[in-house]
Amino acid sequence: MCGIAGFCDYHDDLSEEALFWRALAKRMGAKLNHRGPDDSGVHVSAHAALAHTRLAVVDIEGGKQPMTAVADGFRYTIVYNGELYNTEELRSELKALGHTFETKSDTEVLLKCYIEFGFTCAEKLNGIFAFAVDDERRGCCYLCRDRFGVKPLFYSIENGRLVFASEIKALFEYPGINPVIDRQGLCEIFGIGPARTAGVGVFKNILEIKPGCIAVFDRQGFETYPYFKLKSYEHPDSYEDSVKRVRYLVEDAVTRQLVSDVPLCTFLSGGLDSSIITALAARNYQAAGKTLSTYSFDFTGNDKYFKPTAFQPGADKPWVAKMAELFQTDHHYLECDNVTLADKLYDAVEAKDLPGMADVDSSLLYFCSLIKKNHVVGISGECADEIFGGYPWFHKKEAFEGHCFPWSPDLSIRTGLLIPEIADALHIAEYVNMRYEESIAAVPVLEGESAQEKRRREISFLNINWFMSTLLDRKDRSSMASGLEVRVPYADHRIVQYVFNTPWEYKCHDGVVKGLLRDAAREWLPEDILMRKKSPYPKTHNPAYEMLVKQRLTEVLSNGEEPLHKLISQTAAAELLSEKSDYGKPWFGQLMAGPQMMAYLLQINYWLKKYDIAIEL
């Protein structure tokens, strides 16, 4: 994985001041060095300046960027962040069409694919990617993002010039792009957050290429188009054939994503999703005479303080130990203490350029930094719950009867913290409802579906396009902050599209949550691991962490100079600090409860101060 940045102007000639524009592009790229610590480069042409920082994973010597190719007398230059998993199929197809290759890199394959197929090239790609092409023949800059937004790509239009980057921090290097938030941004933070509406960058005038979209910038302006949308159709297969198809797709996705010229590992929680990936990867490694490395995460004191809940019914460690022994992996138990967890809250903000999932982010950020000491690539089990219906809200009556995002049914926990005048000006409930209705309107309809099946399709669509995107965004920023590439096999578009149309009675066959995936994995896992109940990403149960966060938030609230005072009611904040430790139901997902709300406020305060954000209402 890598970092990309750049700017384009098809009315002025950048080559006339090439040194100035090169230096600016280099500064933008430097803000992304953590994403690509192995190499960097800058390209300047008459109408575009492109910067790249490289994390070398495949073809270490041959894959340097920016990469330029000439076809029919025209130059094409690419900067690319991601990984293709159908590289060799594409290479063979392109060779048959007359193309030659000088490297083994997927970058060259992607560039030649663009040269051959133009704006439709994205439809041929299997992978995770965000890239830009300076196209001399068409006189345009072409931007593209993978189908589910695994890789980020932000942009802004400044004085008629397109400016883009993998992360928002690089955009702020460009003159005239400043950290400002208005009503929309505050509604995102206090109503949608820690999720984010697709295409919205939270900061004023900063947007993001939506997942599954391309964009073209030329003399006529900027336009964006979808190349991928989930489709609804009648599922053609029997249950037995569906099991076989899912088994093939999952195994194929994992096998494709094991390709690497650098050390690779898997994340292992002992749950169904990560255990499937580890089992398939370990089998592949053993066949090649290698030992797979695996990692699990936990927190200091959890052995003592862990309490089973409906959301986290059991500890991971016994299941991890069984998997590691069964598949003979080189397993590493990673642990995070309370002070590190709290300190990393601020690093997580800088990694994301936004407040996020509090200690759920900061812990992953820390764990990824430890993994990077020994490995460059990791494979993770994200996305299976969104696709196969694993979350509690897929199975609760409230989600079927409600008209809201099912992982965030109660906005009052957040909006009640705001100064009343701010809350009245924002109209957060109306904003969130608007985003919800927009999403429901985008659900592809299947004629003849029952009301219940229609609602299940809506919930699946919302999870894939919102909750899954949130976790993928978190995974990218938390891992790439340390230059660790994390791959997500369940996000293979073939799996997502196929299972999206699989009947609910298949997904939960015989009343078993994720029964389809469990039956597909029967030949890979023992019965007890196969049937283990879902347990989410771990969080600390140590009361010392809660006390530490309370103390830090109290210090912020006692200092009238802190920017949080512009937004948060002192009375409401005092009530939050005095609450008992259970804090009721989570206010976002399964893990974000009272301690995470306090940590989220700490992140918001740090974000406002660190980025010197101006608020416009």
Q: Which residues are catalytic?
A: 2
Could you tell me the CA-to-CA distances from 598 to 359, 403, 458, 551 in Å, in that order? Answer: 10, 27, 32, 10
Neighbours of 350 (CB within 10 A): 18
Q: What is the dihedral of CA 444, 449, 450, 451, to 10 degrees?
A: 10
Q: Write the DSSP symbol of residue 510.
A: G
Listing DSSP states for 88-101 in one string gives HHHHHHHHHTT---
Secondary structure class of 32 (helix, strand, coil): coil
Helix axis angle, 451-462 relative to 493-500, nearest 10°?
160
Q: Which of 332, 337, 387 is nearest to 363 (CA)?
A: 337
Query: Buried b vs exposed e over 449-474: b needs ≥16 C-beta within 10 Å?
Result: eeeeeebbbbbbbbbbbbbbbbbbbb
Under a CB-based contact definition with an 8 Å cutoff, are residues 485 and 37 in contact? no
Q: How far is 375 from 381, CA to CA, in rounded Å?
A: 17
Listing DSSP states for 146-198 in one string gives -TT-SS--EEEEETTEEEEESSHHHHTTSTT---EE-HHHHHIIIIITTS--T
Which residues, other chains included, contact 139 with Cβ-Cβ below 8 Å and sequence gap of 6+? 10, 47, 218, 219
Q: How far is 360 from 599, CA to CA, in rounded Å?
A: 10
Under a CB-based contact definition with an 8 Å cutoff, are residues 488 and 218 in contact? no
Q: How far is 465 from 469, CA to CA, in rounded Å?
A: 6
Secondary structure class of 485 (helix, strand, coil): strand
Query: Buried b vs exposed e over 192-211: b needs ≥16 C-beta within 10 Å?
Result: bbbbbbbebbbbbebbbbbb
Neighbours of 482 (CB within 10 A): 19
Q: What is the dihedral of CA 69, 74, 79, 82, to 10 degrees?
A: -70
**C-alpha dihedral sign at 500, 242, 269, 542:** positive
Under a CB-based contact definition with an 8 Å cutoff, are residues 367 and 267 in contact? no
Q: How far is 502 from 234, CA to CA, in rounded Å?
A: 8
- Looking up tokens 């927190």 gives 299
